[in-house]
Amino acid sequence: MALTIFWSKKADKNFDKIIRFIDEEWGESATRVFVRKVYDFLELLQEFPEIGTIENRESNIRGFVIVKQLTLFYKIYQNKIILLNFFDNRMSPKRKKY
């Protein structure tokens, strides 16, 4: 059974910011490729919610590297998946925010 995906405000805001950056730096074609990768992953995540590695066991937060520069953090809660944040892997791990 596929779970429903919900976007947190932080995840939605950061996703939009990333899309704008990619579009400004590399153009519309690269933006489309990136967005397609994210949505392809979300379809996979709905079917296999435990695909990501456990990042924080206490809070049940998982992470998945979508592209080498970007990790998506999410958690499974009841029958839904909550997207928490997108993290730029080039930043210091100390700045990692779920």
Residue-wise pLDDT for 51-98, tens only, equals 999 999 999 999 999 999 899 999 999 999 999 999 988 765 555 566
Task: Quote the percentage of the chain above a pLDDT of 70.
Answer: 91
Q: pTM of the full predicted structure? A: 0.88
SS (H, E, C) the chain: CCCEEEECHHHHHHHHHHHHHHHHHHCHHHHHHHHHHHHHHHHHHHHCCCCCEEEECCCCEEEEEEECCEEEEEEEECCEEEEEEEEECCCCHHHCCC
Domains and CATH numbers, the chain: 4-89 (3.30.2310.20)
Of residues 20 and 98, more confidence is placed in: 20
